[in-house]
Structure 1
Amino acid sequence: MKRKDWLNGLILSLLLSAGFIQTGIGNAVASEQTADSETAAADSGSSSAATDAIKNATYVGGETCAQCHEQEHKDWSGSYHDLAMQPANDETVLADFNDTRFDYFGITSEFYKRDDTFYVKTDGPDGRLTEYPIAYTFGVYPLQQYLIEFAGGRLQALNIVWDTRTAEEGGQKWFHLYPDEKITADDELHWTGLYQNWNYMCADCHSTDLQKNYRLSSDTFDTTWSDIDVSCEACHGPGSEHLRWAQNADLKDSTPNQGFPVSFDEREEVAWTINPETGIAERNKPRTTQKEIETCATCHSRRSTAHPGARPGDPLLDHFQVSLLDDPQLYHADGQVNGEVYVYGSFVQSKMYQAGVTCTDCHQPHSLKLRADGDQVCAQCHLPSKFDTESHHMHEPGSEGASCRNCHMPAKNFMVNDSRRDHSFRIPRPDLSETLGVPNVCTACHDDKSNEWAAKILSEKFGEPDQNHYAHALAAGRMGSPHAEALLSKLILDKTQPEIARATAATMLPDYLSQQSAQVLQMVAQSDEPLLGLGLSSAAERIPAQYRPIFTVPLLYDDSRITRGLAAQSMVGLPLNQYPDEVKTRYEEGLDDFVHANQFNADRPEALTNLANFYARQGLTTGAEEYYQKAIVKAPHYLPAQVNLAELYRNQGNEARAREVLFAALEQVRETAVVQHALGLSYVREKQMDKALEHLGLAAQSPGSPARYIYVYGVALDSVGQGEQAESVLEQGLKSYPGNVEILSALVSINTKLGNTEKARRYQQQLGR
């Protein structure tokens, strides 16, 4: 990051004017960054014509590479990358299209072949059985999907798929990706819908040099690729300058990286030597770059593409917004996999990552196979005489329970039959299961035993577990615990903890803003750790407007393009007159990045809603309404567009029209809690409390309802004299959100009014714990 003295002075003045006291934390980090910036500036001065040519290199195709790199091409051939996407023909289609049928909730789909074309007759976007030719295969094992062309350049992934496993493994059959849900044509998960659209959801990780090319004006795609599969240049970058380097002896010494944008040399001269005392290998020199891991992470991560044109060696956060650990649908509170997250977010939590391990330490880069079979890949670095013993794993040697992977890389099925392993390589923690409700491999296998039983065995064998686990802080942040602020602050400041966990804490801490936490977030704002900046910038809108610039102005100077854009958009509508011109310039540049990212993704309701919000915060209500409506037309089920449009009308003083939008939303969405809550608040504002309580109650009683909804419903009940019912609702909510500050505070207040002094005292004590 580039930092100037006046910027630090500006931050100091902002802190003082906001009533926050600056500590030395942020200054220390900023000083480190100044040195880093000077080094980076010196490095950038060495750019040359050759480097510029590499930046402008073009794709030449994998077949060109194969002419010289025969062994690498041979290893790659037949790999998952090679077979990621293929034209549908007799050689590539693995399913049985010999007049087979598949029944799904009363719909019978037929699969057959006519001449040289494969067909399916199934329910289309109108629900009627229609014949469709198969255009492409997608994937190869343990399932193969089929892509079908639609108007407007769209490809849609059929969600009846072929199980490519052997019959002995339970395969060689058709199955549906949502076997237990009736997905009809009007459902967002239907194969003709938005969430099965290849152009956005799948394409850029199954082909090389994928260009989405969406046009909002015509709602069409013109998607292209250089290679249909994941070929050489997907990982190495465009090869035209490498080809020129190879063909011109004069360029041998003057062309960086042999003409590629990056050289994967992180493992050169690296040796892993077993430490006889620990039985674990140690790297002879530290890993100093992220280039290999981040190249893999462009696809093997849960992320969204914000800026196209990523090339190997580019910083990950210049193009992709990666998911942190805050979403319970994706990660458990301790960081274990819950949803489909594609490795990166798990791996960067691991001790392996911290020790310097890269992807290709375990995986062959071209065949993608493990470097050794089964647990032998672990034995490269973990001495079998110490770890592959009954005294360590406490199971019969050679059994499933003795497997390194089964204990340290638990698997979970996605897409019904695709088993994927958690790459955080964690030690089983049944004690955290007992206190936080997260899963553990011990009782997942020994399902007749308790978490307490497993925790006791492990503590007797290995000693008491480390209680400094980030799970405690992240769980507290999710639950709204009284100690969340202290725990999250401590986690952020602890550099021995994984950066992604600390970044997740930075997304939560704005909800607990105080003088103390503000000082921690100031450090985050000036940190040179990319994920920390991402975490804070993604939560910046939740910081009160009068304090927000303290944290977002430094983020405008962050190295990561995604972070700068998020920081800038959070400042829209704030007065900027007092800032120097350079800050204003940085703000405009960041805002351009944010707008361009959402224009690029305008095929999605999320992006259209972001643009609508952008207009709304500037008071441009016509533009805001237009983009909210575009989002709703594209995805009638997308709640944020509907709720924000209602809010737009509310801000215009039109509660009736706001409720029209919300009632229409109830007809479209699966999970209605957000809509019911908004309707309840609308009736509260008009003092129609009977109707308000009806909708607030429906919101609070919905499965998985946020603590905030329960709190609001309880307070609303109390406000109309129904204190005892309010107490009952809040006490029930406390069972789902133990220690939640808002719920506890309301219970203290209500019980005090009811004369329940002892109960009020008990809840007050819980607040002070």
Structure 2
Amino acid sequence: MQATLPMLRTVLLLLLLIAHRAAAAPSAGDYLGSQACATCHQAQYQAWQGSQHAHAMQHASAETVLGDFADARFEQAGVESRFYRRDERFYVWTEGADGRMAEFEVRYTFGLDPLQQYLVEFPDGRLQALTIAWDSRSRATGGQRWFSLYPDARIRPGDPLHWTAPSQNWNFMCADCHSTAVRKGYDAERDRFNTRSAEQVVGCEACHGPGAAHLRWARTGAQGTDKGLTLLLDERRGSSWRASLERLTARRSAPLAQRKEHEVCAQCHSRRAQIAEGYQPGRPLLDHYRPVTLEPGLYHADGQQREEVFISASFAQSRMFAAGVTCSDCHEPHGQKLRLQGNALCTQCHQAATFDTPAHHFHPPGSSGGQCVSCHMPETTYMVVDPRRDHSLRIPRPDLSERLGTPDACTQCHSDRSAAWAAKAIGEHYPQRKTGLQTFAEAFSDAEQGLPSAIEELAHLLGEQGQPAVVRASAAARLGQTNADVHWDALAKGLGDPDPEVRLASIAGLERAPAQQRAQILGPLLGDSLRAVRSEAARVLTDVQLPESLAGQYAKALAEYEDSLALHADRADSRVALALLRQRQGSNEAARAELTQALRLDPAHLQARLNLADLLRALGQDDQASALLAEGIARQPDTAVLHYALGLTQVRLRQADKARASLAEAFRLAPDDRQIAYARVLNLWSGDPGAALQILEKLTRQHPYDAPLREAATRFNWKAGQHAAALRHAGCLQRLQPQAETVQRLLGEQAPAAGDVQHACGPEPSGS
């Protein structure tokens, strides 16, 4: 905490850090624009001009706008929007933030194919993306029409998905990847943006770095292996993929020493959070971005893409990535086209006589089923019309799909068949089942189900150096979310992993470890070479008394963390994170101010409202918390957790009838939420114990490995005289926590032995 360093010294260190960052940042004059590259690199420039990068964002004009603005109309859920031109400008008549229909000028186009979006500029510098987009595909393929990105919903003003909401804000959500060298320019005092970029599109310098020094090198004939560039993208130079008679797949002639291309592409082609501006090719990615791991909700348990995750982490878990394949081995980087079409792309390295044949893929040659990508890179469609291929390049595993419910490439085409059918068919063709490189699905699935065995499985994955780094990092992230203390040793070992993403995920997982333990094992990470790692260590050590020898490193790393939050002060998420930091530093009033500001920026931000209500409770101001939650319910009446939080507040205010009604409504809206359902159990117990036990029984079936639920089921059933049910739940609890004394404490001499009730908790782990 800040008490480890005098305040003046902290401020001085922060000022020095800011001055260093300002001095290191490239000036606007270092960037020349893509046109400056055309003279010497004409072929590359011409290829780039036809690319998506060159059309990532453009001023709206007759040449750039693809959509129908000839008084075209689009109706959804009773709201009719109109698109038209006037005086060579483009306008939309649609519903604004206040719920009224109004005219908005379209200032920019956004993207090209298979859809184009449009940006509206507001007086405070915000650019907002309309959620009605133009389908730019051909009419024959269903395009040339206006469509909604949320076709099945009525998105009302105030909804987080409304086009005027922060989730559709270009300055934060889009600019950094659709333009070159972006500076967001948010003024927190005035709540205004002055966003600027070196080039409006994704230009040459986005991938090669600022060009001024390179141009000087070219003009003067200066010496130097770097040619005046911040990074030479030369990973393919001097190497090749060599085939041999004894191998079916070519191997790289020389090992890949660095991941230059991958990091350059990952600045945008990854799901990540920006922690600092000023990234240039050649700089460490984790000094500017924090990539997400294979998180549940974003990825399926086997690592296949679920949400829009932008390729990078998918590719990083593949065997091809491990073998040294780079992005430009398959993609021509300037025009962004594939280097070869169809299976010819794959048979550059994979022997055609073995793999491009019905004996391998058991489909007719030339058919869609005979395409390598159909089985190894299945598509998921995002934004209604935009199919993206999964770059994890995995062996199809319908046997896993059958057990774990993961997607199956076979039944994606054979939609009338089951995963069991597909598993049987593949088993007949390949009796010796190939598991592929990705062997973590069972462990991740077990963790998502809450199986006790998952802790050991995740710890093993974390320490297995043969696993891709993104998998080890994902294991650390899941391990940190468990409630068991036994994972801390595994996470402590993860802190020494050579891959920074593993270190980063391991730090976060140790947040709940005892303060003394955190001080001992996390202190050295304050001096890590990467900003993302050391600033995360500082965050987790905020409430820990550190030795004076670490005070300087801590102050610098914490300043970097706070700087990352200040960069996104326009976002409620960042304000909430800063509020949590202030609470850990013991400043509740500062936390309250940040949460209040978060709700001003985004009144629909659920976490800000819940955190502020919880802080008000801690301050003994339940009346204000109740009013705050009631206001949230008025805005979002179908949000169960708001009714739940209000019900708990009303319990504390001794408003029994109101609390009962609030908790009943929360349970109606989210009957499968374990916290809400358990609160409903407690609320019902005194008046209707039978109904309470029914809910509790359903909860334990849905969450069979939740020890606190089993303990509650044991206790309540015993109280109700349902001794057989109590013993059944106690048997499971004994299996879940064999070292604990919980069952003996609850039931005394009636407690069963750990082995008396077999499989009481549900099915065996998926890997068994």
Q: TM-score, normalised by structure 1?
A: 0.87
**Structure 1 residue 396, shift from structure 2 partner:** 2.2
* Counterpart selection for 1:64 from 25, 29, 36: 36
Deviation readout 1:518-574 (Å, 9 max, x if unpaired): 221111122221111221233443445454334432332333211221221222233
Q: Which amino acid aligns with 1:376?
A: A
Query: Are residues 1:667 and 2:627 paired?
Result: no
Shift of 1:466: 3.6
Q: 2:490 aligns with which of 520, 526, 530?
A: 520
User: How many angstroms does 1:56 deviate by?
Assistant: 10
Distance 1:760 1:614, change over 3 A: closer
* Structure 1 equivalent of residue 443 of structure 2: 473
Shift of 1:79: 0.6
Structure 1 residue 90 and structure 2 residue 69: aligned?
no
Pair 1:126-2:98 in alignment: yes
Asked if 2 retains the 8 angstrom alpha-carbon contact of 1:616 and 1:648, the reply is: no
Aligned 8 A contact 1:565 1:593 in 2: yes
Mapped partners of 1:243, 1:763: distance in 2: 71
Compared CA separation, residues 628 and 234, structure 1 to 2 (3 A): same
The alignment status of 1:549 with 2:515, answered yes or no, reads no
How do 1:411-426 and structure 2 match up within 5 A?
Answer: 411-426=379-394
- 1:436-489 Cα shifts (integer Å, max 9, x gaps): 222111222222222222222223322345498212222222222111211111
Give the one of 628, 633, 643 matched to 2:610.
Answer: 643
Distance 1:52 1:147, change over 3 A: closer
Residue number in structure 2 paired with 1:142: 114
Q: Name the Cα RMSD after superposition.
A: 2.6
Q: 1:67-122 deviations in whole A, cap 9, x for unaligned?
A: 11111101111110111111111111111212221112222222222232122222
Q: CA 1:287–1:713 in structure 2 vs 1: closer, same or farther (change >3 Å)?
A: farther
The residue number in structure 2 matching 1:28 is none
Q: Report if aligned partners of 2:672, 2:699 keep a CA contact under 8 Å in 1.
A: no
Give, in angstroms, the shift of residue 402 of structure 1.
Answer: 1.6
Shift of 1:514: 5.5
With 345-354 and 654-663 compared, the bigger mean Cα shift is at 654-663
Equivalent residue for 2:152?
A: 180
Question: Normalized against structure 2, the TM-score is what?
Answer: 0.87
How many residues in Structure 1 have an aligned counterpart in Structure 2? 711
What SS is found at the alignment partner of 1:273? strand
1:402 partnered with 2:370:
yes
1:600-640 residue CA offsets vs partner (Å, 9 max, x unmatched):
10011001111122222222222211111110011111111
Q: What are the superposed Cα offsets for residues 407-452 of structure 1, whole Å, 9 maximum, x if unpaired?
A: 1111111111011111111122222222222211122222222222
The structure-2 alpha-carbon separation of the partners of 1:79 and 1:409, relative to structure 1 and needing over 3 Å to count, comes to same
Q: Which string of whole-angstrom CA distances, capped at 9 and with x for unpartnered residues, describes residues 677-724 of structure 1?
A: 43344455567676656555554564485545445555x369748665
Secondary structure at the counterpart of residue 151 of structure 1: coil
What pairs with 1:611-622 in structure 2 (closer than 5 Å)? 611-622=578-589
After superposition, the Cα gap between the structure-2 partners of 1:691 and 1:117, relative to the gap in structure 1 and judged at 3 Å, is closer
- Report the secondary structure of 1:733's partner residue: helix
- When residues 344 and 736 of structure 1 are mapped into structure 2, their CA distance, relative to the original with a 3 A threshold, is farther
Instruction: Answer yes or no: is the 8 Å Cα contact 1:145–1:161 preserved in 2.
Output: yes
3-state DSSP of counterpart to 2:563: helix
Tell me the alpha carbon deviations over residues 183-224 of structure 1, each in whole angstroms, 9 at most, x when there is no partner.
122322121221111111111111111111000101111111
1:450 to 2:422 alignment? no
Percent identity over the alignment is 41
Question: Per the alignment, do residues 727 and 53 of structure 1 end up closer, same or farther by CA in structure 2, a change over 3 Å counting?
Answer: closer
Separation of aligned partners in 1, 2:332 and 2:46: 13
2:723 aligned to which of 741, 755, 758? 755
Q: What is the deviation of 1:325?
A: 1.5
Aligned position for 1:283: 252
Q: Which residue type is aligned with residue 394 of structure 1?
A: F
Q: Which residue of 2 aligns with 1:657?
A: 624
Q: Which amino acid aligns with 2:709?
A: I
The one-letter code matched in structure 2 to 1:364 is: E
Alpha-carbon distance in structure 1 between the residues aligned to 2:147 and 2:203: 29
| Structure 1 counterpart of 2:11 | none
Task: Say if 2:93 and 2:102, in contact at 8 Å, map to a contact too.
Answer: yes
Residue 203 in structure 1 maps to residue 172 in structure 2: no
- Pair 1:727–1:388, CA change in 2 (3 A): farther
1:676 aligns with 2:643: yes
- Written as runs of structure 1 = structure 2, the 5 A alignment for 1:193-232 is 193-232=165-204
Instruction: Give the match for residue 436 of structure 1.
Output: 404
Over 3 Å counting, the alpha-carbon distance change for 1:430 and 1:697 in structure 2 is farther
**Residue type matched to 2:306 in 1?**
N
1:239 maps to 2:211: yes
Shift of 1:592: 0.4
Q: 1:671 to 1:392 in 2, by over 3 A?
A: farther
1:304 equivalent among 269, 273, 276? 273
Q: Tell me the CA shift for residue 748 of structure 1.
A: 4.4
Structure-2 separation of matches of 1:260 and 1:695: 62
Alignment partners' CA distance in 1, 2:449 and 2:405: 12
Q: Note the C-alpha offset of 1:169.
A: 0.7
Q: Distance in 1 between matches of 2:582 and 2:338?
A: 50
CA contact (8 A) 2:158 2:635 kept: no
Structure 1: distance between partners of 2:499 and 2:637: 38
- Higher alpha-carbon deviation: 632-641 or 280-289: 280-289
Structure 1, gaps ≥5 residues long: 1-50
What SS does structure 1 have at the residue aligned with 2:487?
helix
Deviations 1:359-393 (A, max 9, x none): 11100010110010122211111112111221211
Q: Distance in 2 between matches of 1:677 and 1:296?
A: 43
1:258 equivalent to 2:227? Answer yes
Label 1:512 to 1:212 Cα distance change in 2 as closer, same or farther (>3 A).
closer
Q: Is 1:632 the equivalent of 2:604?
A: no
Conservation of the 8 A alpha-carbon contact between 2:135 and 2:147: yes
* Deviation larger for 493-502 or 451-460: 451-460
1:106 aligns with 2:106: no
**Counterpart for residue 35 of structure 1:** none
Mark the CA change 1:54 to 1:570 in structure 2 (over 3 Å): closer, same or farther.
Answer: closer
Task: Classify 1:124/1:695 alpha carbon distance in 2 versus 1 (closer, same or farther; 3 Å).
Answer: closer
State yes or no: 1:499 paired with 2:469. Answer: yes
Unaligned runs of 5+ in 2: 1-22, 739-763
- Aligned amino acid, residue 591 of structure 2: A
User: Contact 1:521–1:551 at 8 Å: present in 2 too?
Assistant: no
Contact 1:711 1:742 in 2 (8 A): no
The question of whether the paired residues in 2 share the 8 Å contact of 1:119 and 1:131 is answered with yes
SS in 2 for 1:447: coil
- Give the residue type in structure 2 aligned to 1:145: Q
1:669 to 1:540, Cα distance in 2 relative to 1, 3 A: farther
Q: Distance in 2 between matches of 1:384 and 1:543?
A: 53
Deviations for 1:253-296, whole angstroms, at most 9, x for unmatched residues?
xx341011111111122111234445212112221212210110
Structure 2: which amino acid aligns with 1:358? T
Deviation at 1:63, TM superposition (A): 0.8
Distance 1:211 1:147 in 2: 18
Q: Are 1:588 and 2:560 an aligned pair?
A: no
Contact 1:54 / 1:241 at 8 angstroms: preserved in 2? no
State the SS of the aligned residue for 1:657.
helix
Aligned letter for 2:593?
E
Residue matched to 1:530: 500
